[in-house]
Structure 1
C-alpha cells in the first residue's frame, strides 16, 4: 500500500496562464520567449492562442515574477495553483 501526503512546508507548484495579450502582442511574445526559452515564432503563437499556459509547475516566487513581467507589457495573466494529487 502506498501512502501520499503533502507536507505543510512544501511549496505547491503554480502555473502561469496568459489570459489576454493585449495590444502589444510582439512585446508579450518577447517576454514569453525570455520566460520559456522558446523561439520568437513559437512565443508569438503561444501569445496569440489564449488562454495559454506559459509556465508549468514553478514556485510561487517565479510565477509572480513572470506575471509582473507580462503585465508590464500590457498582458493579462494569472497564477493558478496546481491541484493536489488525488489520494488513493
Structure 2
C-alpha cells in the first residue's frame, strides 16, 4: 500500500447512553402489573410474577431513552410505579 492509499479510521461515539427500566412497585393492581411486565420483557407469566413481586427490580437494560420511557409509560398504565435510569458505566 502506498502513502497515497492511506486508510482512515473513525471512532463513532454514541450521544445517547443506555438506560434501564426499574420496576419500583407493582401497585394495587398486581395482576395488571404482572401482565405488563410480561408484555415488555417477553418472559413467561410465572417469571413475570416473580419479577413483579421482587420490586424494586431492574427489568430491562441497554435501551435508548425513548424506548425506556415508553416501557415506563406502559407499566404505569397498568398501575405500577416504574422509572428509567441511565445505566452506570462499569
TM-score, normalization by structure 1:
0.83
- Number of corresponding residues: 80
Question: CA separation in 1, counterparts of 2:37 and 2:12?
Answer: 31
Deviations 1:51-76 (A, max 9, x none): 11111111111100000001111111
Stretches of structure 2 lacking an aligned partner (at least 5 in a row): 1-10
Q: Tell me how far apart the structure 1 counterparts of residues 84 and 66 of structure 2 sit (CA, whole Å).
A: 10
Give the one of 21, 42, 46 matched to 2:47: 42
| Rg larger in structure | 2
Give every structure 1 segment of 4 or more consecutive aligned residues whose post-TM-superposition deviation is greater than 4 Å. none
RMSD between aligned residues: 1.7
Mapping for residues 1-88 of structure 1, pairs under 5 Å: 7=13, 9-85=14-90
Give ranges in structure 1 of 5+ residues lacking alignment. none
Query: So what's the TM-score if we normalise by structure 2?
Result: 0.81
